[in-house]
Amino acid sequence: MLKQVSIYAENVKGKMLEITETLTEQNINILGSVTNDSAEYGIVRMVVDDPIKATQALKDKGIICKLTDVIGVEVKDEVGNLNRLLKALNDANINVHYLYLSFNRVSGCPIMVLHTDDTKEVESSLKSKGFSLC
């Protein structure tokens, strides 16, 4: 199971820069990220190399954030592998709330980061179907 930093950021000029500067100052590496925006606020979801330190540093700057459990599944960079993963989840009656891409810096393989309702159950299901988890 991975810990994701979920950041609630006001949709104003320079906010993303403030977030990345804060992480840079703390020597925190962003491993994967996705941003969803609305008119006033956005949600920035990140997998970083030190999520607890990142969350504290952001909170110290007055940025609203929290840790969220997510699952990282290594998928080879081949046609149909994301479809195979999603089919396995669907067959197990598992809903995926959102997903985004990162990659394994050691193997070079893509990692799908996904959020579901019961991460421990989903991890168990995926392992039993032969998927590699991070």
For the chain, 134 residues long, give each residue's pLDDT as a single digit of tens: 899 999 999 888 999 999 999 999 999 999 999 998 777 888 999 999 999 999 999 999 999 999 999 999 999 888 999 999 999 999 999 999 999 999 887 787 899 999 999 898 899 999 999 999 98
CATH of 2-69 given 3.40.50.1220, 3.40.50.2300, 3.30.2130.10, 3.30.70.100: 3.30.2130.10
The residue type of 54 is A
Q: What is the distance between the alpha carbons of residues 105 and 114, in angstroms, rounded to a whole number? A: 18
Convert the pLDDT of each residue in 95-110 to its tens digit.
999 999 998 877 878 9
Predicted pLDDT of residue 103: 83
Q: What is the per-residue pLDDT for 105? A: 78
Spell out the domain ranges in the chain.
2-69, 70-133
Domain 70-133 is of which CATH architecture?
2-Layer Sandwich (3.30)
pLDDT score of 130: 93
Q: Is 115 helix (H, G, I), strand (E, B) or coil?
A: strand
Instruction: Enter the tokens of residue 99.
Output: 């997903």
pLDDT computed for residue 50 by the predictor:
96
Predicted TM-score of the model (pTM): 0.86
Does 70-133 match 2-69 at the fold level? yes
- pLDDT at site 57: 98
Please give the pLDDT value at position 26.
97
**Residue 84: exposure state from Cβ atoms within 10 A (0-12, 13-18, ≥19):** middle
